[in-house]
Structure 1
Amino acid sequence: MKLTKQIGLFAAVAMLALACGKPSDTVEATDALEVAAGTGDTLNINPASTTISWTGYKPSGKHFGKIPATEGVLTVLGDTITGGSFTFNIVGLKIEDMPETDENYGKLYGHLQSPDFFDAANFPTAKFEITGVEPFKAGDMVTDKQEFASDNTPSTDSSLAPANPTHWISGNLTMRGTTKNIKFPAAVSLANGTLTAKAGFNIDRTAWGLMYGDESAAANKAKDQFIYNTVSLELDVTAN
């Protein structure tokens, strides 16, 4: 995998999970794989400019915000990425669709930190570790799958993805004590010793045990009282 002036690192693909009996717009979460051995030069992430933006959906609305990075590295040997990992602070999660002074902010933050969702008291961080990198070839596509329709249907993977991904990235994503491997296309630039990466993709939160309001219950779907299993993630990474 060659690192030219424009290379790929984090963006999006769509794969399976079920919504209303049809696959939803999420990357496939599979068993964890061996982490790529990182050899060569080390680029350290800049925590101040490295975040995960998240959006959660329900038929009656959505919430969004950011999860800050605490540490991370990419390793590069010559012009080849050989590995990398990123750690994110779940306790530091921010909600951006309402002011912190709103009483509902504290209620939502507390609920997200609770065992219904991240169980942050026991699992205060999330981690992504690169397991493989492949070229994004001509003809490769980001595939959109159908979601249960509502006024707040989740964003599609193609709308989240960068315009010109150049590589597929696979990696182990660990949340709430569960590690699953995901794979998605990505776009990155490397200039003057600084690597910047942007990406967006969807995951099925239930693969990591975040089961509250699981949309698979048909009765809740009929009442529009579920929370979509699909969560949109957008990565913004800077390393040097």
Structure 2
Amino acid sequence: MKQVLFPVAVIAIMASCNNAPDADKAATGDSTAAAVATGANFAIDTTSTVEWLGTKPVGQHNGTMKISSGSFAVENGNITGGSFVIDVNSLTDLDLKPEDGKEKLEGHLKSADFLDVAKYPTAKFEISSVEPLTGDSISTHKISGNLTLKDSTKNVTFPAKVTLSETEATATANFNIDRTQWGLFYGNDKSLGDKFIRPEVNIKLNIKATKQ
């Protein structure tokens, strides 16, 4: 992974670019039991974000979603568990201006074609394991957790950089997920040519938490 903890993601389901996003591919499997969170509670700052990037043959789009709540449990210098909620309705595109179709793209991503925020306004990530990672110049840990997006839950595993102090915890990650694993199939047909939307969505997590 290249940067942070999290998320959602999911939205990049819609972007475009000559190549798929350049990042580690998250391993995806069936949901598993959540880790038992023991130790001190660190509340996640709501300024934390999930960044998304999606691509197609002729371009790309990127933006953010807000993390509305969550916490980590820390014991003996290690994260033992935790979870966070993503406000999918906060999805914002960053590469377009209003006159260039910003609102139209955001509305489409929030529609039933993609995230269907009217029915599923939030997404959730719940940690199932955190393991030290060796031999990686950027990442410090391998994080696994259950990502619930719309009505599907899958376990994803990705590298992350975790930094802990007595009062603060930060986590960053940079990885790709396959949106079709969560039933997001819109535009996922190569016969569409330039309108084809790649299944890979890039997710970057930027999370900060403070001890309570």
CA RMSD of aligned residues (A): 1.9
How do 1:113-192 residues align onto structure 2 when only pairs under 5 Å count? 113-138=110-135, 163-192=137-166
Counterpart in 2 of 1:91? 89
Relative to 1, partners in 2 of residues 1:109 and 1:168: Cα closer, same or farther, differing over 3 Å?
A: same
Q: Deviations over 1:176-221 (max 9, x none)?
A: 111000101111212341111111000001111111001xx3423x
Counterpart in 1 of 2:102? 105
Q: Secondary structure at the match of 2:66?
A: strand
Q: Deviations over 1:216-240 (max 9, x none)?
A: x3423xx333100001000000001
In structure 1, how many angstroms separate the alpha carbons of the residues matched to 2:198 and 2:170? 31
- Does the Cα contact within 8 Å between 1:9 and 1:169 map onto a contact in 2? no
What's the TM-score once normalised by structure 2's chain length?
A: 0.85
Counterpart in 2 of 1:143? none
Deviation of residue 9 (structure 1)? 6.5
- Does the Cα contact within 8 Å between 2:64 and 2:94 map onto a contact in 1? yes
In structure 1, how many angstroms separate the alpha carbons of the residues matched to 2:49 and 2:99? 23
Q: Which structure 1 segments of 5+ residues have no match? A: 1-7, 12-23, 141-162
Asked whether 1:224 is paired with 2:165, we answer no
Counterpart in 1 of 2:26? 27
In structure 2, how many angstroms separate the alpha carbons of the residues matched to 1:192 and 1:36? 22
In structure 2, how many angstroms separate the alpha carbons of the residues matched to 1:136 and 1:182? 16
Asked whether 1:10 is paired with 2:5, we answer yes
Counterpart in 2 of 1:234? 204
What's the TM-score once normalised by structure 1's chain length?
A: 0.75
Q: Which structure 2 segments of 5+ residues have no match? A: 7-22
Letter in 1 for 2:105: L
Q: Secondary structure at the match of 1:106?
A: helix
Q: Secondary structure at the match of 1:117?
A: coil
Q: Secondary structure at the match of 2:146?
A: strand
Counterpart in 2 of 1:56? 54
Higher Cα Rg: structure 1 or 2?
1
Deviation of residue 123 (structure 1)? 0.5
Stretch moving more, 224-233 or 191-200: 191-200
In structure 2, how many angstroms separate the alpha carbons of the residues matched to 1:200 and 1:218? 26
Letter in 1 for 2:41: T
Counterpart in 2 of 1:14? none
Deviation of residue 78 (structure 1)? 2.5
- Which has the larger strand fraction? 2
Give the percent of matched residue pairs that are identical in Structure 1 and Structure 2. Answer: 42
Asked whether 1:198 is paired with 2:172, we answer yes
Deviation of residue 102 (structure 1)? 2.4
In structure 1, how many angstroms separate the alpha carbons of the residues matched to 2:24 and 2:58? 19
Deviation of residue 137 (structure 1)? 2.5
Letter in 1 for 2:155: N
In structure 1, how many angstroms separate the alpha carbons of the residues matched to 2:25 and 2:76? 33
Say how many residue pairs are matched: 192
Letter in 2 for 1:228: R
- Does the Cα contact within 8 Å between 2:36 and 2:80 map onto a contact in 1? yes
